[in-house]
Amino acid sequence: MVDQVVVIFQAIEFIESHLKEDIDVAQIADAAGYSLFHFMRKFNQVVHHTPYDYLMRRRLTEAAKALIRSDLRIIDIAQDFGFNDQETFSRVFRKMFQMTPSQCRKENGIPFQFLLQPKTLAELKFINSDHFCTPLVTEAEDLTLLGLMTLLDENDKRAANLKRHVCLDFLSLGSFQDHATVYEIEFNMNQETRRRYFFVGAEKNQIHQPSPLLVSQTVHRGRFVKMEVPESELSLALAYLHTTWIPRVGLVENMGMTILCWHNEKSLMDRTMIILIPVK
């Protein structure tokens, strides 16, 4: 399987180097050294996208970036990425991103995690590993938590550092039941401003003598995609869920929220993280 992953990754590199050219799946298969039928089957098995779907999503992702970073007309960007007319481009763009190209430009883009970046060899090895666990769709009831909340910095590195400190502050504010479940929730309150907030907390009955500094946060009942992964593979799993698995099964996610939960234990070395993403 490892050899197949490497060959398919070479096909992905071929796609990237010819993204704006008029290539078809047969040419990609030829570059990989496979027959068309064998290539389509292996690509889908390894990448979890069909070759055509992957090519289209990569083109649309780069087109979305061009809408923000350039002043080119929408029709010019569409043609740059192989779309003959603006109507077709707008239709497939909206299907992928739930917004039109005009809205994308006006609202200054699409959240980064929903753009299909070039698949890396590490990602392909992750989804083809022996321990890979297929995500599930689950129903959950209202969940009321007590914890700390903060506004996140727009800089990803500073935001990650702030989240780490808020988690430590929360854990220092009280004692918890053994193996209490801690929830980390990243969300935006206003879709227009896209300011991101971060909440970390636990259920009230799992906190002994909760501090008056804690605030309440409710996660409302609904459907969620659920996946369990080691913390070391968290970023790979999130990328896979946002850009591959959820679109592949035909679900639409709530772009405003991602939930992570884990058990508060003495050793947090490579803890198991449970990802919950609300969908409809």
Q: State which H helix or E strand residue 27 sits in.
A: helix 25-32
Pair (12, 108) in one structural domain? yes
pLDDT tens digits in sequence order for the chain, 280 residues long: 668 999 999 999 999 999 999 999 999 999 999 999 999 999 999 999 999 999 999 999 999 999 999 999 999 999 999 998 999 999 999 988 889 999 999 887 787 778 899 999 999 999 999 989 999 999 999 999 999 999 999 888 999 999 999 999 999 987 888 789 999 999 987 666 678 999 999 998 899 888 899 999 999 999 999 999 999 999 999 999 999 999 889 898 887 899 999 998 766 667 899 999 999 8
Pair (152, 211) in one structural domain? yes
What is each CA distance from 44 to 55, 159, 235, 269, in whole angstroms?
Answer: 12, 35, 22, 34
Of 82, 107, 127, the position where a domain reaches its end is 127
d(CA 192, CA 159) in angstroms, rounded, equals 20
Q: Torsion angle, CA of 231/144/189/173, rounded to 10 degrees? A: -60
The pLDDT of residue 253: 86
What is each CA distance from 256 to 45, 70, 83, 125, 146, in whole angstroms?
Answer: 30, 26, 30, 29, 20
DSSP conformational letter for 253: B
Range of the domain at 49: 2-127
Pair (158, 274) in one structural domain? yes
Pair (142, 226) in one structural domain? yes
Pair (274, 142) in one structural domain? yes
Pair (140, 272) in one structural domain? yes
For residue 232, the cross-strand partners are none
Structural domain count of the chain: 2
Q: Torsion angle, CA of 56/62/68/72, rounded to 10 degrees? A: -80
Pair (204, 183) in one structural domain? yes
CATH code, domain carrying 188:
3.20.80.10
Tokens of 1: 């399987």
Of 95, 127, 159, the position where a domain reaches its end is 127
Of 97, 127, 157, the position where a domain reaches its end is 127
Pair (140, 207) in one structural domain? yes
DSSP conformational letter for 32: H
Which of 221, 218, 215, 204 lies closest to 280 in space, CA to CA? Answer: 221
Q: What's the whole-model pTM score?
A: 0.87
- Please tell me whether residue 62 adopts helix, strand or coil conformation: helix
